[in-house]
Structure 1
Amino acid sequence: MFNFTPLLGAQSSSPASQSLLEFDGGIQILIDVGWDEDFSVEQLKEIERHVPTLSFILLTHATTAHLGAYVHCCKNFPLFTRIPVYATNPVISLGRTLLQDLYESTPLASSIIPTEALSESAYSFSSALEGGKNPSILRQAPTQQEIADYFVRINPLRYSQPHQPIPSPHSPPLNGLTITAYNAGHTLGGSIWHIQHGMESVVYAVDWNQAREHVLSGAAWLGGPGTGGSEVLEQLRRPTALICSSKGTDMVKVARSPSKRDEALLEMIRATVANGGSVLIPSDSSARILELAYLLEETWKRETSDMGSASPLSNAKIYLASRTGGATMRYVRSMLEWMEEGIVKEFEASAADQGRRNKGAKDDDRAAKVPFEFSHITLLERKTRVARMLGAAGPRVILASDASLEWGFSKDAIRSLASDDKNLVILTERVGELGAQGKGLGRYLWDLWNRRSASPGQDAPSATIIDASGEQVPLRTIRTVALEGHEVSLYQRFLASQRQRQTTMGGDNAAMLETSADVFDDFSSTESESSEDSGYPYRGKALNATAALQHARNKLGMTDAELGVKVLIHRKNVYDYEVRGKKGKQKMFPLQAKKRRTDEYGDRIRPEEFAPKKENPVDQKNSETNANLKRQKDGEGQGGAEDGESDSEPEDDPDKVEGPSKVIIESESLEIRCRIAFVDFSGLHDRRTIQQLILLIRPRKLIFVGGEQSETLALAEISRIALNANTDSASAIDVFTPTVGTMIDASVDTNAWTVKLSHSMVRNLHWQNVRGMGVVAITGRLTAASLDSPPIEETDTPAKKKVRLDAPAIPVSSNKYSQTPILDMIPANMATAVRSVAQPFHFGDLRLADLRKLMKANGMQAEFRGEGVLVISGTVAVRKTATGQIEIDGGAYGNVDARNGDAATFSRVRRQIYEGLAVVAGG
């Protein structure tokens, strides 16, 4: 059984992606925890509902659309951190820097507490909501260390490495389920996931790119041994279901080849900077920005060295504005093995050349080329530096986060550059809409370009520049202010209810809610109201909910009678309490003893106690001076600070609010006078590529998600015609286009029926084991249900079942008998005729790499030669065809090795192959 449910990103203009896969036995897999720039918790309700039943989580890309809500779920959903998560190393590292940039750049990422949550926590204080209006109180934002800790939990995987994941504590057994990540292109470390469970083979391929780029290699669909890249990998061929994205497949007129795309972008930049204008290129802060940064760096380096001052680019500076740009580039420098082969060889050759020059090197020798250590791009990680750069004169090219123009430094840049018609904004991807908020600024600009540059009924051609000519576009201004009045108590009650929920459900994040942000909570430091020595007559986890509820109610304002003996500590000027006749806690002074937090290694360490001592003002000034001198010596080309500014200088943000806060969203109109262009740098497959590959993959079921409604339905219709062109209706391939929340059954056994095996049939079964699965051949005769005894109702109690089994059979009407047919042994007089019809066949998949190990273990020589051919002892060649069949050639047939008396090499190889497969006999 295989069921698929898109939770987000199906026939939707929102780019967020969330998918739920369900297999036999209650195994549930969540793929991607995406979010869009609206940051609405309404989009995460389905994930929260499924958390107690999830087995594990897979992440595909380090983008907001694929893991933007990961930290939010870890911090706010009980039990979520107990679910194992799997991703590649680049997705883990770049995803960490992306979300650190996100939470530092926009307060909306912390998410607004919904009105329902405030109403539930307020109990009878619903009047505090001022007539039901949401005061837009923000949740606690995770710290940078918390974000890093959440990503440390993720289990790293490598490409083409089959792995059997560990299920969550509340998950059923996985029964040999295997996951394998393959290169998806599009982003560094992006994955196509292959999931194998029993007979179900599922390929999840959302957002992939088959074309090679400067930094990224193409998706790993093709490249089977001996096929010359014309056949799909065997592991990805003929899956039970192929889940593929349809995003961007309707943009057929836009140039997609990397060479045309690069040249179009560079021509626009040259023309703009030659005219004295500036260019803004909004992009994400960790994925596609790598391709753009590498292209600009190489172009500036080539043209300034070849043409010198004659090049129009020589007078223009390049800036990369991202709060975590430096950390992102440091991570990328250690990930060369994940990049395209050409760039790896380029850096290796540069390092080898530098090693040869070092023997007689001089100070003026050219330094070795270090990956992503820029000499022409300046990194900007501070808002003050970005403001200073925008206020300076002269042409410049700005790479800024984010592509949606809703957060990050790109929003500040568009405000500064929009009023000058010499400037140019180059959009690099079609931005999605923002859920309930509709269009954001990035989507408005894309729609404006698409509307003005396209002819009626046609798509917009590439490399078209339009003049906005005073177009008015809406812009959201977001600022935070401290809580005041009734909002403080409302926020207190919400935190109390969250602690109760975390403690009751056994979450790991209850302690994280007790931070310095809860500045108004007098009792947040205590973990429990009772201790081991409290006089309470009961113990155990059964009291967790009661204790948490009592802890929460104490914050909500209770009468003296309700408080009981706790009135001595919760009320001022109260010094006595009547304890005669009282029981339990009511007869003792309410001592609040703090429990010592421990783990498996002993007392839990508090990192803040080991923080380094702060430097005094003199030492700090000296260290900043030394850092400034070093940066001036190195030059600002290495991403250093401008004007000798130190990276250690704290961010001067007057709008930043410490402690609990709320968000105020204001709408304004921005007049756009600059020019707008679009060059597709999204790095996604187009319609032509997916049509060609689907015919080679030949999935049994095809599911399209991840695109807008029009392009999804159009691509599905084209694929349906192509796949079923030469197929009769009985064996036609199903193509599904589910909407959000719609579950579809894509099992391979959709047309299966249930039968019962007779006792004689079960006794005569001969099972064979192939890679952990039992295989058996059955030849029998189907008969009607047995009428020997009535069935046992499943709804009966155990006592009733026992009585019925012990009692004699009682005749009942035939309509209550089991209707399941029975498969029984074939009578002896029919066995010969049936055996002549059924033919034996082999079941299983033997890898040549495993066969090579077996041959070496038996003392034979085995090595790969040519295109995937295994040569054994120099006489026998074993190869695997494109259809998965194994061919053996060569050897001395029937000869005997005189040294050991064993069969010849050919016979030994054939025997090993048969032992690795199951010979399923028909008779």
Structure 2
Amino acid sequence: MFTFTSLLGAQSESSASQSLLELDGGVKVLIDVGWDETFDVGKLKELEKQVPTLSIILLTHATVAHLAAFAHCCKHFPLFSRIPVYATLPVISLGRTLLQDLYASTPLSATIIPASALSEASYSYSQTVSSNKDANILLQPPSSEEIASYFALIHPLKYSQPHQPIPSPSSPPLNGLTITAYNAGHTLGGTIWHIQHGLESIVHAVDWNQARENVLAGAAWLGGAGAGGAEVIEQLRKPTALICSSRGGERNALPGGRAKRDELLLEMIKSSVSQGGIVLIPTDSSARVLELAYLLEHAWRTEAKDDDSPLRSSRLYLASKNIGATMRYTRSMLEWMDDAIIREFEANAGLQQKETGPQSSGNSKSGSSAGPFDFKHLRLLERRGQIDRILGQTDSLGRSVGKVILASDTSLEWGFSRNVLKSIADDSRNLIILTERLGKPEGDAKTGLARTLWSWWEERQNGVLSETTKSGVTIERINSGGRQVELQHAKRVALEGNELNVYQQWLATQRQLQNTLLSGGTTSLESSADVVDDASSDSSSDSDDSETEQQGKSLNISATMGQANRKKIGLSDEDLGVNVLIRRKDVFDYDVRGKKGREKMFPLSIRRKRNDDFGELIRPEDFLRAEERDEVDGQDMRQPNKHDTRDTFGKKRKWEEPQHDRQMTNGDHKRQQTSRNQRDSIDLADMSPGPEDDASEDEGADAVDAVAESSPSKAIFSTEALTLNVRIGFVDFAGLHDKRSLQMLIPLIQPRKLILVGGMKDETLALAVDCRKLLVAQLGSSESTIDVYTPEVGAVVDASVDTNAWAVRLTSALVKQLTWQKVKDLRIATLTARLESSVVDSEPDTEESNKKQKLLKAEGEGDETPSSELVRSSTAHIEVPTLDILPSNMASATRSVAQPLQVGDLRLADLRKIMLASSHTAEFKGEGTLLIDGSVIVRKTGTGRIEVESIGLATSMGPGIGHGSTFYAVKNMIYQGLAVVK
């Protein structure tokens, strides 16, 4: 069984991607935790419902659309951080810096607490709403250290490395689930996921690029860069289901490919900076920015030697809050890039060693040679003050100096790109270059600034400025014409007065609700020192976590609140679920029909003793004398409201306990906090590095902002009308597949079922029609037999494999006669047997049977029915189909009919390598045809059938009909690549 549900990104203008795969046995796989520039917490509600039942999480790209909500879910969704997450090393490293940049750039990334949750927690919120319309109270955002700790939990994987993941504590067994990552070619470390589970072979390929770029190799469909294959690799060929993105399905590739694209960008930049203009290129801060930074840095290196080039006198900048860390991680991951980058690095390293000598420490930036990402011309900016200074720079005559600024983010809704655009908006010499196509918002969706500029580019209302350069390249720029856009600014302000009380009441409600719902379940946190929940035994057992780490962590439970007053929470039986068996008195029955996961199990945690190197932990309260039992844990039991802090130093303050009752000095608390941070984070010092440039004088302002983020706050919005006179250009640097790539590769992949997600509605439906026609022509079947699905958000697609499989029981005598042969990772055997039905008694265990007999004997006194009959009646009789050996009279008749069977799938590329190693000549002649020694042709049809033809000519190995001919040599090699089962 396999069902697919798109939680975000299907037939939608939103670029966010979230996919849910449910496999046989209740195994659920979440692929991507994406978000968009709106940071709407309402878009995560469906994901929030699925968290308790998820088995594993897979991440594909280090972009906002694929993992922007990861830190939010870890901080505010209980149990989310316990789910195993898998990704490649670049996605982990670059995703960490992306989210640190995101949360440092905009207060809206913290998300606004829904008004419904506040009104349920506090009656006074209704008065606040009536007076202030909306409080816009913010959740506490994760700190930089917390984001680093979340990403430290992700399990790194390498390309082409099959891995059997571990399930989450609440997940059913995975039953041999295998995941494998392949290069997607869109971002550094971007992944095409192959998931194998039983008979299901699923390929998840969202946002991939087959074309080779400056930094990234193409996708691994045909074997990656340098493979030169004409067939899709075996691991990704003929999956039972292919999940593919439709974004770019109607886009035609630029004639001339990558070289033409790069030349178009550089000519557009030269045309603007030669007039003293400023060029703004909005981009992301961790993924596609690497391609742009590499291209522009090497263009400046080349043009710096040309006296007539306008780039020589121009400046190049890259602005992002955490770009220094991003580039340091990038320099350490060159092996994930294209082979040309590795060769460039090795050549520059050898040249530098030859120039400076082996004894020199060598600064690659100062020498004549530099590595691929050792920037000699590109300057990194991480602070607002640095950007303001470079925007005001002029030459000795007071004229503006040409500048090119790469700034985050592409959406222009947050980051430095928004600030730069405001500064350059009034000058027509300036230019903003869009690097991605953006869809138009649907319905009442908010129109972002980048979408507005893209709509202007498509409309071309105020005229187009076309220019042909010396190299013959025609560039087009659109005039803004003084049109106005409305900018909305969000400012973080500390809470005070009634709003602070509302927030504290909401926070208290969430804490109490979390403790109520999680107590008694398999994921509850035990307060006793002698037991520990088995589900959380692998995690840290320290109980001194900071209180701020828990704030707002139960936001997802607020939707399940029934009627709650200000003093006591009342939960209905539906809210408690299966926990009603232990939370309610005189409740002994619970209907589990139609339930899944933990809702079908009795809420009893498996407990075990907690030991250390010296044995079982000692509970001091078990050894108290009678006169000491009146005071336990610093609490005078005779006076419950009076606390004694003599023995509670270093312990966590209870939620109901006031802060002033804890006799702990600020200095002691700070020392504890410092030591805890040093213990919990081994390498967090490297996670938030400073900029590569010298620190600017605006460090104090950043420190003030950081303090504000750690306190309860709200968002205040203001609007501003901005008049635009800048020109708008477009060069496609999205790095996504185009129409030709999709139409060429999908028939070669030959999926049994095709699911299209991740695109606008029109392009998704259009691509579905094209793919259906292509697959019909490839497979030679009717359109009705081709399954192409185009689900919408929330729709469930049943894409199970159309295979009939049965489970049978083999007798011991038959098993002894089987001859097993190994085919790749499998062991197979043929058998001829007789099918019969046998009855299997599922008898209870001896110990359980004895207990039941004693219980029935005690309860059945005076009853006429003996207890032994009751036990015997509880024994189940199950009919199981069984295969047994054939009788001797039937075995002789079937033995003469049986024929040998060849099992396996031989690839022509492998056969070519084998023949070349055996001193034969072998070359491909057309698609699916291999010519060996000029006399033997080997063809492989679409159904997998291998055909061998020979013209019968003699060769150096012997006569054409002899045993040593090429024909028989090829046949022997083919048989060696297959398993012959008799």
Q: Which residues of 2 match residues 356-755 of structure 1 at below 5 A?
A: 356-359=354-357, 366-392=367-393, 393-432=400-439, 437-452=445-460, 463-503=475-515, 504-505=517-518, 506=524, 514-515=547-548, 588-591=640-643, 594=648, 606=672, 608-609=674-675, 640-641=693-694, 645=696, 651=702, 657-658=708-709, 659-725=711-777, 727-729=780-782, 732-749=785-802, 752=804
Q: Which residues of 2 match residues 789-808 of structure 1 at below 5 A?
A: none
Amino acid at match of 1:370: G
Aligned partner of residue 11 in structure 1, secondary structure? coil
Amino acid at match of 1:423: N
1:168 shift after superposition = 1.2
Instruction: Output the TM-score relative to the length of structure 1.
Output: 0.74
Distance 2:871 2:463 in 1: 79
For these two proteins, the number of residue pairs brought into alignment is 780
Distance 1:323 1:137 in 2: 25
Aligned to 2:603: none
Aligned partner of residue 221 in structure 2, secondary structure? coil
Aligned to 1:841: 901
**Retained in 2: the 8 A contact 1:255–1:462?**
no
**Retained in 2: the 8 A contact 1:337–1:344?**
yes
**Retained in 2: the 8 A contact 1:453–1:464?**
no
Aligned to 2:312: 314
1:861-910 deviation per Cα after TM superposition (whole angstroms, max 9, x unaligned): xxx99847796999xxxx9998989999x9x9xxxxxxxxxxxx999999
1:606 shift after superposition = 4.5
**Retained in 1: the 8 A contact 2:317–2:379?**
yes
Distance 2:329 2:35 in 1: 24
**Retained in 1: the 8 A contact 2:840–2:878?**
no
Aligned partner of residue 98 in structure 2, secondary structure? helix
Aligned partner of residue 708 in structure 2, secondary structure? coil
Change in 2 beyond 3 A, CA 1:116/1:279: same
1:119 shift after superposition = 2.6
Amino acid at match of 2:737: H
Q: Which residues of 2 match residues 790-829 of structure 1 at below 5 A?
A: none
**Retained in 1: the 8 A contact 2:181–2:192?**
yes
**Retained in 2: the 8 A contact 1:426–1:677?**
yes
Change in 2 beyond 3 A, CA 1:493/1:256: farther
Amino acid at match of 1:202: I
**Retained in 2: the 8 A contact 1:186–1:208?**
yes
Aligned partner of residue 485 in structure 2, secondary structure? strand
- Report the identity percentage: 51
Aligned to 1:169: 169
1:846 shift after superposition = 9.9
**Retained in 1: the 8 A contact 2:463–2:479?**
no
Amino acid at match of 2:344: E
Amino acid at match of 1:474: E
Instruction: Output the TM-score relative to the length of structure 2.
Output: 0.69
Amino acid at match of 2:786: I
1:79 shift after superposition = 0.7
Amino acid at match of 1:318: L
1:668 shift after superposition = 3.3
Distance 2:477 2:185 in 1: 28
1:379 shift after superposition = 1.0
Q: Which residues of 2 match residues 777-796 of structure 1 at below 5 A?
A: 777=830
Distance 1:868 1:590 in 2: 84
Change in 2 beyond 3 A, CA 1:401/1:221: same
Report the RMSD for the aligned CA atoms in angstroms.
5.1
Distance 2:815 2:215 in 1: 60
Asked whether 1:26 is paired with 2:26, we answer: yes
Distance 1:807 1:818 in 2: 14
1:831 shift after superposition = 7.0
Amino acid at match of 2:268: M
Aligned partner of residue 61 in structure 1, secondary structure? coil
Aligned to 2:935: none
1:431 shift after superposition = 3.3
**Retained in 2: the 8 A contact 1:224–1:882?**
no
Distance 2:905 2:677 in 1: 56
1:225 shift after superposition = 13
Change in 2 beyond 3 A, CA 1:807/1:231: closer
1:73 shift after superposition = 0.5
1:769 shift after superposition = 8.3
1:254 shift after superposition = 5.2
Distance 1:177 1:128 in 2: 52
1:716-742 deviation per Cα after TM superposition (whole angstroms, max 9, x unaligned): 100100101252239833111111111
Change in 2 beyond 3 A, CA 1:683/1:758: closer
Amino acid at match of 1:248: G
1:685-722 deviation per Cα after TM superposition (whole angstroms, max 9, x unaligned): 10101110112111111111111111111011001001
Amino acid at match of 1:841: L
Amino acid at match of 1:441: L
1:131-190 deviation per Cα after TM superposition (whole angstroms, max 9, x unaligned): 895411100011111111111111111111111111111112222211111111111111
Amino acid at match of 2:218: G
Aligned to 1:205: 205
Aligned to 1:92: 92
Change in 2 beyond 3 A, CA 1:139/1:9: same
Change in 2 beyond 3 A, CA 1:3/1:802: farther
Change in 2 beyond 3 A, CA 1:141/1:512: farther
1:351-383 deviation per Cα after TM superposition (whole angstroms, max 9, x unaligned): 101112224999999443133121111111001
**Retained in 2: the 8 A contact 1:184–1:219?**
yes
Change in 2 beyond 3 A, CA 1:361/1:683: same
Aligned partner of residue 116 in structure 2, secondary structure? helix
Change in 2 beyond 3 A, CA 1:351/1:409: same
1:636-661 deviation per Cα after TM superposition (whole angstroms, max 9, x unaligned): xx9534xx847977637679835111
Aligned to 1:351: 349
Distance 1:367 1:312 in 2: 22
Amino acid at match of 2:449: L
Change in 2 beyond 3 A, CA 1:484/1:763: same
Distance 2:347 2:756 in 1: 43
**Retained in 2: the 8 A contact 1:36–1:434?**
no
Q: Which residues of 2 match residues 824-903 of structure 1 at below 5 A?
A: 839-843=899-903, 867=913
**Retained in 2: the 8 A contact 1:320–1:378?**
yes
1:250 shift after superposition = 1.8
Aligned partner of residue 35 in structure 2, secondary structure? coil
Distance 2:825 2:913 in 1: 30
Asked whether 1:122 is paired with 2:122, we answer: yes
Change in 2 beyond 3 A, CA 1:820/1:518: closer
Asked whether 1:324 is paired with 2:322, we answer: yes
For structure 1, list consecutive stretches of 5 or more residues without a partner in the other structure.
520-540, 547-578, 613-630, 632-637, 790-797, 810-816, 850-863, 893-904
Distance 2:258 2:284 in 1: 19
Aligned to 1:336: 334
Q: Which residues of 2 match residues 221-232 of structure 1 at below 5 A?
A: 221-223=221-223, 228-232=228-232
Amino acid at match of 1:486: N
Distance 2:406 2:484 in 1: 24
Aligned partner of residue 49 in structure 1, secondary structure? helix
Distance 2:891 2:677 in 1: 81
**Retained in 1: the 8 A contact 2:385–2:698?**
no
**Retained in 2: the 8 A contact 1:865–1:871?**
no
Amino acid at match of 1:689: S
Change in 2 beyond 3 A, CA 1:224/1:837: farther
Amino acid at match of 2:722: L
Distance 2:302 2:16 in 1: 38
**Retained in 1: the 8 A contact 2:911–2:974?**
no
1:595 shift after superposition = 8.5
